[in-house]
Every structure is written in C-alpha cells, then in structure tokens.
Amino acid sequence: MSHDTAHALEHDTSTGLDNRKLAIWTFIGSECLFFASLISTYLVYRGKSLVGPFPHEAWTSPAGRHFDPILEIKLVTVGTALLLFSSLFVVIGLNGAQRGNRGQLLAGLGATIVCGIFFVGMQVYEFTHFVHEGLKLQTNLFGASFFTLTGFHGTHVTIGVIWLSTVFILALRGKLPPKKALNLEMAALYWHFVDVVWIVIFPVVYLMK
Amino acid sequence: MDAHATTAPVSSPDHAHDHPGVGTYVKIGIVLFVLTFMEVAVYELGYNHAGAGFGALLHPVVVPVLMMLSAIKFALVAMFYMHLKQDSKLFSGVFVFPLIIAAVVIFSLILLFAYHYAFQKLIT
C-alpha cells in the first residue's frame, strides 16, 4: 500500500467529517457537564456561608476584625475583556492558517497566548490577594465553591496556553501549512470553550448578588 | 448504498472559505466587548445606584438581564468563533445536547436545594 493510499484511508470517515474535530466537540460536550456540576455547586451554596469574608458584603468577625467585600470587579472585568479579545485573536490566527497567511497566523496566535498569560496572572494575583485577606479553600462555603470553580477554569486556561504555545512553535518552524490548519482549529475550539465558560462564570460569580 | 461507506472529510482548507472573514470576527468582537461593558453597567446601576432613577428600575431585574446578556455572548462565540453556524449540524448536536443536560442539572439542583432549605426553615 502506497503512502498516499494509506493517508487517504486514514482520514475517510462514515460521517464525512474529520474524526479529530468530532472528538474535540465530544470532549467539549463532556466538559459542559463538568462545569455545570461546578456552577451548580457554587449556586447551591451561594449565600449559605456562616462566616466571612463574603463576596459582596462587609463582615466583622467575633474577634473584631473587619473584612470588606472581597471581590474585585474592576480587575476581573479587565481579565474578562482579555479573554474575549483572545478569542478574537485566535480566530484571526486560524483564518491566517487556513489561508496560508503566516504573518496573520503568528500575530493572532501570539496575541492569544499573551492574553491567556495575562488572564492566568490576573487569577493568580486574585487568589493570592484573597488568601492574604483571609479567604481560603477551607474558610467557608463561598471560599470552597469559589476556589474550586474558578481554579478549575484557570487550570483549563493554563492548559489552553500550553496547547496554543506548542502550535505557535509549530507555526514558527513553518510546520503548519493550510492543509494542517485543523491542528490549530482543535486548539482554538478548546480555547473558545474556555472563553464561553468564563462568559457564564463572570456574571454568576462576580456580578450577581 | 453500503452502510459502511466512507467519504473524505469536509474539514479541508477549501471548507475554511465557508467561515466568516476577519471583518466579521472583529465586528463580533466589538459586540462582545460592548455586551461585557453593559453587564458591568447593569451591575453598577442595579446594585450600587439602586436608590433612584434608572438604577431603581433596573434593580429588580438585574439577574435576568445579566443572564440574557451572558446568553447572547455565549451564542455569538459558539455560532461565529466556533463556527457552529457554518459547520456540520452534527457538531452543533454534540455540543448542544450536553448543554441542555447541563442546564437541566443546574436548574434541578437549585430547585432541589431551595426546597431543602425552605423545608429546614419550616421545621426549625
């Protein structure tokens, strides 16, 4: 069997769709259920903490220590904007990859990675700030559900940054021609999913009192 | 036709030309940015300036308005950036079906626990 024949058989499918793309969509579908469980847990325990710090209300402990509302809406709004822009940049990079425009591909992908790194940095700063303010995983129900939900999302963003960085290195080496653009499209789909999850988390956790 | 017949996948570079262009992506990006700004404005007006004027009107509907804005952003990213509008309906099905189950799980758990807490209050 020649190499060309083997290559063709490898990619012909009964659905007419690429199996790798169907696989990433199936994975994203399963991730919907994963994040649904975390978001439900956050919502179910919302407002049920017996001790502070609280997300939107000030609190004074029995020992007399005062705690301000802990969430930093302005900081997280900047992070949200970065994540939205990163989704725009990755789709512009994908457009470049599919059309063989190497400059557009590298610029789009590079900007996406930078936005992703800044978002993770924002989250690391936020978590560190919360711990300094006295909110830990074991402090109250808000701390437990907040750190679990946003922590898992942050982990997904970190994995996305690593994945996109490997594709970026491939593109830099000239190993991402238009016929292999699906390698970037799969990473981009994952990245957009991480973005849509944040689109839900942002109002649910930060904006709804 | 043979039940096991296979065809070449449609995810070729040519298929990419069905996707929207950079102009459309930028327009969607601007809309997403404006919607995010609106979300924060609704939060500020509805909670922090709820005493009078538009804030007082907005206060009772902050949560539904935020949910609606979030749903619009979600749909825009899924349809245009994830290309569900142009790609095979099978991908939409693989994504939307678990999404419906996820929504049912979230609302069921909220209802279940709301009932549980209400019952607890009643007996104490």
Q: Which tens digits make up the pLDDT trace of A176-186?
A: 999 999 999 99
**What is the rounded CA–CA span in Å between residue A113 and residue A98?**
19
- What does the pLDDT read at residue B124? 74
Q: Which of B22, B29, B73 sits opposite A199 (nearest CB)?
A: B73
Give the bridge partners for A60, in sequence order. A66
Residues of A in contact with B98 (CB under 8 A): 29-30, 32-33
Cβ of A192 within 8 Å of Cβ of B22? The answer is no
- In order along its 124 residues, chain B shows pLDDT tens digits of 444 555 555 444 445 557 888 999 999 999 999 999 999 999 999 888 877 788 888 888 999 999 999 999 999 999 999 999 988 899 999 999 999 999 999 999 989 988 887 888 788 7
The Cβ of residue B48 has, within 10 Å, a number of other Cβ atoms equal to 10
* Orientation of helix A102-133 relative to helix A141-172, angle to 10°: 160
Cβ of A179 within 8 Å of Cβ of B21? The answer is no
Query: Nearest CA of chain A to the CA of B124: how many Å?
Result: 16
Residues of A in contact with B69 (CB under 8 A): 203
Query: Nearest CA of chain A to the CA of B68: how many Å?
Result: 10
Query: Nearest CA of chain B to the CA of A65: how many Å?
Result: 24
**What is the rounded CA–CA span in Å between residue B78 and residue A103?**
26
What DSSP element (H or E) covers A23? helix A19-44
- What does the pLDDT read at residue A47? 87
**What is the rounded CA–CA span in Å between residue A124 and residue A127?**
5
The Cβ of residue A200 has, within 10 Å, a number of other Cβ atoms equal to 20
Closest-CA residue of chain B to A207? B43
Mean pLDDT by 10 residues, chain A (209 residues): 44 79 95 95 90 86 86 93 96 94 95 97 95 92 95 97 96 92 95 96 93
Closest-CA residue of chain B to A26? B94
**What is the rounded CA–CA span in Å between residue A205 and residue A41?**
12
Q: What end-to-end distance do the CA atoms of chain A give, in Å?
A: 65
Residues of B in contact with A84 (CB under 8 A): 29, 32-33, 36
DSSP 8-state class, residue B15: G
Instruction: Work out the percent of chain A whose per-residue pLDDT is above 90.
Output: 76
Q: Which of A13, A40, A84 sits opposite B106 (nearest CB)?
A: A40
Cα dist. B34→A44, A68, A78, B38, B72 in Å? 30, 29, 13, 6, 12
Residue A16 phi, psi dihedral angles, 5° rounding: 80, 5
pTM: 0.88
- What does the pLDDT read at residue B8? 55
Cβ of B110 within 8 Å of Cβ of A21? The answer is no
**What is the rounded CA–CA span in Å between residue A120 and residue A155?**
9
Cβ of A15 within 8 Å of Cβ of B19? The answer is no
Report residue A206 as tokens.
């930060």
Cβ of A91 within 8 Å of Cβ of B102? The answer is no
**What is the rounded CA–CA span in Å between residue B63 and residue B67?**
6
The set of residues, in sequence order, having a beta carbon less than 8 Å from that of A206 and lying 6+ positions away, is A55, A71, A73, A76
Kindly report, residue by residue over A84-121, the tens digit of the pLDDT.
999 999 999 999 999 999 999 999 999 999 999 999 99
- What does the pLDDT read at residue B15? 54
Cβ of B39 within 8 Å of Cβ of A207? The answer is yes
Give the bridge partners for A66, in sequence order. A60
Secondary structure class of A66 (helix, strand, coil): strand
- What stretches of B1-124 show up as alpha helix (H) in DSSP? 22-43, 53-58, 62-76, 89-123
Q: Which of B43, B77, B99 sits opposite A87 (nearest CB)?
A: B77
Yes or no: say if A29 and A39 are a contact pair by the CB < 8 Å rule: no
- What does the pLDDT read at residue A151? 96
